[in-house]
């Protein structure tokens, strides 16, 4: 794996912020403005519009030469937009910003400071807000989960996952991205997963910024943010996760690395999604061999043997597996909702969780 990179130019490297947009005119101004108003000045802003049908292109035109517009002639989805932006960018550091998210003013300044010579990727926490920019009271990743750091590819090979942020919470050296671009079309709607799995093998080491320096927006038009719980949504999670696991196996083979035979059973995220999908709509669940009891055992084993969660969280998540696995579907759905959409939890649940953490910490 890479262990060094060329020096970032003159300690003031160019940071390319690539805003990718499709029909997000409601949020686009906020995203672009957040990129242009960084306290770090050596920034170029590229805005890729993936053939929007709303007023997005008028908004993009209103910025004139302050941004570099890239107007696609057909809708190619997320991967195609990122490919187009990366190809036109010139920065030493690349940040992909979804058009419904935004950065805090000092974000790039703190990102550049985190790029020590051995670091190929910096990821950071995102504050979760709603469609009106009101905070929902939690972040991604959640409080108590530290962003992965160091040679994270080793963690990937041990547990098939690591603590990271969604697309807008990651910044990369150009050398980290060049070997994995262009993003293949089969990841056209899951480019963030493709980058999360692929880049640690080329990044050398990762660094994390645990304070929120950007915002992730939850709203009805976001295809991944959970505003409601359904079996179809979790089937998508499961199918994409199966694709991601195959990609991890491919990367391991490319770098002549061995993966444990039971690696598929070591990721909490994978098991959570499969248990939720199986409980909500067993008749449509994508993995025929899955059984509730088996997934409960896998989940508890992954939680206690392979996760980095502290004792309070392990106890809480153990109760979650038991609740979702054993309760009637109507009650299991509540448990799934409260885990995946914390903003939908009743206040008494948050109070109970807080008290439980205090008792066992």
By the 10 Å C-beta count (0-12 exposed, 13-18 middle, 19+ buried), 1 is classed as: middle
Q: What is the pLDDT of residue 45?
A: 98
Place of tokens 């993009």: 60
CATH of the domain at 136: 3.90.550.10
Q: Compute how many other C-beta atoms are within 10 angstroms of the C-beta atom of residue 325.
A: 20
Q: How far apart are CA 355 and CA 361, in angstroms?
A: 10
Same domain, 49 and 148: yes
Same domain, 34 and 92: yes
Structure tokens at 86: 């990366």
Same domain, 235 and 213: no
Residue 331: helix, strand or coil by DSSP? helix
Place of tokens 């994978």: 270
Domain, as residue range, for 338: 231-360
Q: What is the pLDDT of residue 361?
A: 57
Residues in the chain: 361
> For residue 43, is it left (φ>0), alpha (ψ between -120 and 50) or beta?
beta
In a domain, 100, yes or no: yes
Same domain, 99 and 156: yes
Instruction: Show which of 217, 252, 282 is a domain's final residue.
Output: 217
In a domain, 149, yes or no: yes
Same domain, 55 and 191: yes
Same domain, 169 and 299: no
Instruction: Show which of 217, 240, 273 is a domain's final residue.
Output: 217
pLDDT by residue for the chain (361 residues), tens only, comes to: 565 567 676 678 999 999 999 999 999 999 999 999 999 999 999 999 999 999 999 999 999 999 999 999 888 899 999 999 999 999 999 999 999 999 999 999 999 999 999 999 999 999 999 988 899 888 999 877 889 999 999 999 998 889 999 999 999 999 999 999 999 999 998 899 999 999 999 998 999 999 999 999 997 655 544 556 778 888 888 988 889 999 999 999 999 998 898 888 888 888 989 999 999 999 999 999 999 999 999 999 999 998 878 888 899 899 999 999 999 999 999 888 877 776 666 676 666 666 655 665 5
Q: What is the pLDDT of residue 227?
A: 52
In a domain, 1, yes or no: no
Q: What is the pLDDT of residue 201?
A: 96
Same domain, 320 and 354: yes
In a domain, 4, yes or no: no
Residues 6+ apart with CB under 8 A from 133: 30, 215
Instruction: Give yes or no for a contact between 160 and 112, defined as CB atoms under 8 angstroms apart.
Output: no
Q: What is the pLDDT of residue 83?
A: 97
CA distance to 10, 150, 320, per residue, from 222 (Å): 39, 31, 26
Peptide bond into 182 cis (omega under 30): yes
**Among 188, 211, 18, 180, residue whose Cα is nearest residue 111:** 211
In a domain, 38, yes or no: yes
Q: What is the pLDDT of residue 224?
A: 45
**Among 39, 94, 97, 29, residue whose Cα is nearest residue 63:** 29
Structural domain count, the chain: 2
Residue 205: helix, strand or coil by DSSP? strand
Same domain, 270 and 134: no
Same domain, 167 and 53: yes
In a domain, 138, yes or no: yes
In a domain, 136, yes or no: yes
């Amino acid at each position: 794996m890479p262990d060094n990179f060329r020096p970032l130019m003159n300690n003031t490297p160019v940071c390319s912020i690539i805003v990718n947009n499709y029909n997000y005119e409601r949020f686009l101004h906020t995203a672009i403005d957040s990129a242009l108003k960084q306290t770090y000045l050596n920034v170029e802003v590229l805005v890729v519009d993936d053939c929007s049908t709303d007023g997005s292109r008028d908004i993009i035109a209103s910025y004139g030469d302050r941004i570099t517009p890239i107007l696609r002639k057909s809708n190619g989805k997320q991967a195609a937009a990122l490919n187009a932006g990366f190809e036109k960018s010139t920065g030493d550091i690349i940040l992909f910003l979804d058009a419904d998210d935004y950065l805090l003013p000092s974000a790039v300044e703190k990102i550049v400071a985190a790029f020590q010579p051995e670091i190929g990727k910096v990821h950071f926490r995102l504050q979760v807000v709603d469609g009106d920019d009101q905070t929902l009271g939690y972040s991604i990743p959640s409080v108590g989960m530290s962003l992965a750091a160091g040679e994270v590819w080793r963690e990937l090979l041990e547990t098939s996952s690591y603590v990271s942020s969604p697309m807008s919470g990651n910044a990369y050296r150009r050398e980290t991205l060049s070997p994995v671009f262009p993003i293949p079309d089969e990841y056209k709607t899951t480019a963030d997963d493709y980058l999360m799995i692929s880049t640690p093998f080329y990044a050398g080491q990762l660094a994390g910024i645990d304070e929120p320096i950007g915002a992730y927006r939850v709203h009805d038009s976001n295809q991944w943010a959970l505003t409601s719980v359904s079996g179809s949504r979790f089937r998508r999670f499961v199918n994409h996760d199966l694709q991601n696991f195959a990609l991890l196996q491919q990367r391991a083979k490319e770098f002549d690395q061995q993966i444990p035979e039971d690696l598929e059973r070591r990721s909490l995220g994978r098991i959570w999604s499969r248990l939720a999908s199986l409980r909500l709509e067993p008749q449509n669940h994508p993995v025929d061999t899955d059984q509730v009891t088996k997934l409960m055992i896998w989940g508890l084993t992954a939680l206690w043997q392979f996760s980095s969660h502290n004792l309070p969280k392990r106890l809480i998540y153990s109760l979650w597996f038991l609740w979702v696995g054993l309760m009637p579907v109507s009650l299991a759905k509540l448990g799934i909702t409260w885990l995946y959409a914390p903003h939908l939890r009743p206040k008494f649940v948050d109070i109970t969780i807080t008290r439980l953490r205090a008792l066992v910490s």
